[in-house]
């Protein structure tokens, strides 16, 4: 499809397990963002990639969270030793350029993570 | 620090009524950007508008209109003659001029009843 694709759409895991969430941005978009949305709240910024490099990872809550984008396209958000508080919808967005002053972000439908 | 407040958590209207969503923001930046996004039940946020801090002109797009008032740090959104398809959660967001992240408000759920 032409939009941002995220897999899995739903992931249930046990506390302490490792999870990976994948994002396929719109083809040609150099900027990629990860946001986290807890129930009933607005999305919170996690990390921003421009090309292959993480240009801003100031939103990652702690060192259990890590994200990569090795070829400047697909990105994977990795969460180690999951905790119940990590339960949320993880949203990926892409943009042709980057930075909030350049226009709209195109969001995927999110990956809902539930940690039991 | 940047902050966005959407005081209304939920608004319920009957189809064809107008509905106004409030958004108040806080920032120390002189240059910044304001956004509205719509999140339907599918979960995908859909961009509606972007406004920079230097442009206080109100904007109208079809049934949507936006009122930006820098003096009160508000960027309100009105849906005229609401329709059932307008039912969604609407988020206001604030972007840094030189940064890369959006700060979102808590969202307002709009329910339009037929």
- Whether B1 has a pLDDT exceeding 60, the answer reads yes
C-beta separation of A47 from A54 below 8 A: yes
Contact B47 A99 (CB under 8 A): no
First to last CA, chain B: 41
Distance CA(A63)–CA(A58), nearest Å, equals 11
pLDDT(A83) > 80: yes
CA dihedral A36, A37, A41, A47 (to 10 degrees): 20
Nearest to B26 by CA among B74, B59, B67: B74
Q: Give the per-residue pLDDT at A110.
A: 95
The C-alpha of B29 sits at a distance from chain A's nearest C-alpha, in angstroms, of: 13
Q: For chain A, state the CA radius of gyration.
A: 13
Question: Which pLDDT band holds residue A101 (cuts at 50, 70, 90)?
Answer: low
Substitution target in A23, A42, A59, A106 with the highest count of B β-carbons within 10 Å is A42
Residue linked to tokens 């919170």: A44
CB < 8 Å from A in window 56-95 of B: 91, 93, 95
Q: What is the mean pLDDT of chain A?
A: 93
CA distance A95 to B31: 21
Split at pLDDT 50, 70, 90, the class of B100 is confident
pLDDT at A100 over 80: no
Q: What pLDDT score was predicted for residue A102?
A: 64
pLDDT in tens, B46-83: 999 998 898 888 888 899 999 999 999 999 999 999 99
Confidence band of B101 (pLDDT split at 50, 70, 90):
confident
Question: At residue A103, does pLDDT exceed 80?
Answer: no
Token pair, residue B82, equals: 């609401």
Give the pLDDT confidence score for residue A1 in this predicted structure.
56
Of residues B43 and B90, more confidently modeled: B90
Residues of B in contact with A89 (CB under 8 A): 43
Q: How large is the average pLDDT for residues B100-107?
A: 92
Residues A17-63: pLDDT tens digits? 999 999 999 999 999 999 999 999 999 999 999 989 888 999 999 99
């Amino acid at each position: 499809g032409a939009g941002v694709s995220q897999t899995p759409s739903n992931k249930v895991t046990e506390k302490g397990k490792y999870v990976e969430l994948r994002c396929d941005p719109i083809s040609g978009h150099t900027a990629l963002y990860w946001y986290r949305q807890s129930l009933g709240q607005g999305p919170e910024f996690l990390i921003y990639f421009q090309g292959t490099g993480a240009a801003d990872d100031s939103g990652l809550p702690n060192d259990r969270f890590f994200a990569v984008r090795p070829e400047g396209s697909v990105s994977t958000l990795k969460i180690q030793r999951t905790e119940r508080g990590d339960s949320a919808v993880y949203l990926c967005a892409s943009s042709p350029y980057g930075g909030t002053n350049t226009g709209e972000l195109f969001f995927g439908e999110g990956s809902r993570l539930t940690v039991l | 620090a940047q902050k966005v407040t959407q005081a209304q958590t939920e608004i319920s209207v009957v189809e064809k009524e107008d509905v106004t969503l409030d958004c108040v923001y806080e920032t120390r930046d002189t240059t910044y950007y304001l956004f509205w996004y719509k999140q339907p039940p599918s979960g995908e946020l859909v961009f509606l508008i972007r406004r920079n801090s230097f442009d206080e002109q109100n904007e109208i797009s079809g049934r949507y209109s936006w009122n930006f008032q820098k003096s009160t740090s508000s960027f309100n959104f009105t849906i005229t003659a609401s329709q059932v398809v307008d039912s969604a959660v609407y988020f206001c967001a604030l972007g840094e001029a030189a940064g890369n992240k959006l700060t979102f408000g808590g969202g307002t759920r709009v329910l339009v009843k037929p």
